[in-house]
Amino acid sequence: MSDTKVDILKFADKDGEYKRKPSVFRDFISSKAGAKFPPEAGRYHLYVSYACPWAHRTLIVRALKGLTALIGVSVVHWHMDDKGWRFPSNDDPCEGATEDKIYGVKRLRELYFKADENYNGRFTVPILWDTKTETIVNNESSEIIRMLNSEFNSLLDEHHAKIDLYPSDLQQQIDDLNDWIYPNINNGVYKAGFATKQEPYEKEVKALFEKLDKVEEILGNRYHHGEHYLTGNILTEADVRLFTTIVRFDPVYVQHFKCNLKMIRYDYPHIHQWLRELYWTIPSFKDTTNFSHIKFHYTKSHVGINPHHITPIGPIPNIVPLGKFK
């Protein structure tokens, strides 16, 4: 068994640039005949953190698709220490977190070693776990949300089965958006925040805001034509994937990751409207967003960035109600 420890800043290279490690477990739940992992009610389980934007994607799609009764969830403590994520206990409580509902393990790393005793990578969330074969199906959020979107439709009621976050006629447009939003915005905040030298930090933060300006322009054009989402009037995975970064932007990334050239609520009126419409009008977004877990995790887990573990009070509120200001 590996004794790998989590030190988030060690992933910056000699030039001070943050390099995200790729996910390792990449199997797929499939409704095709003879699939290794077929869709079954109650068979699969999600391990998530409310703090993590990648895990947040899977919670949103699970809710949007009406899969909450078919796929269970265990939620880790918001704090991540040098051994990674852990579950709460009687002497280490955490409101909103749960015990491991499948095995009762104390740490997420135990699941990785259960799946592969020689595993030596990072202990990340989300995990899509198969309780039948007792292994990790997949730990890459972008692939998990695709499975949740399409592969369980035969088990769903007609309304939820018809919800399609990756419709065939919009797939190219969605893929094109993902291709520049992921590296520059979703991961861009991390590349800025985890940079250990000035030059890579400035490069990444400038690229981040250039692409936020581009999103603002896209949404401005959409609203001008009476549309409300990135690809038009249909909610897609592109909106889900961007939302989990934008909802954390003002509360965390502005100060903690030094992404402070602009704020969403003051400088990006169309992104701000889009964010609030998703949060306040679609329960799957609001109900899966836990600002306490989000703010406590970043500010109290990243000791290299915030050694005194002080969590800022603001901004107040974490997200502005609809109709307050634009």
> Which residues are annotated as catalytic?
52, 190
- Give 94's DSSP letter: -
Residue 89 CA: distances (Å) to CA of 98, 159, 214, 294:
9, 39, 45, 20
* Contact present, 130 and 37 (Cβ < 8 Å): yes
Is 125 annotated among the ligand-binding residues?
Answer: yes
Is 129 annotated among the ligand-binding residues?
Answer: no
d(CA 251, CA 256): 9
Is 150 annotated among the ligand-binding residues?
Answer: no
Is 123 annotated among the ligand-binding residues?
Answer: yes
One-letter amino acid identity for 101? K
How many residues are there in the chain?
Answer: 326
Is 122 annotated among the ligand-binding residues?
Answer: yes
Is 284 annotated among the ligand-binding residues?
Answer: no
**Hey, what are 257's tokens?**
């990751």
> 120-157 as b/e, with b when 16 or more CB fall inside 10 Å?
eebbbbbbbbbeeeeebbbbbbbbbbbbbbbbbbebbe
* Contact present, 38 and 63 (Cβ < 8 Å): no
DSSP result, 259-326: --S--HHHH-HHHHHHHHHHHHH-HHHHTT--HHHHHHHHHHH-TTT-TT-PPP--SSSSSPPTTS--
Which residues make up each annotated binding site?
A: 85, 122-125, 140-141
Which residues make up each annotated binding site for glutathione?
A: 85, 122-125, 140-141
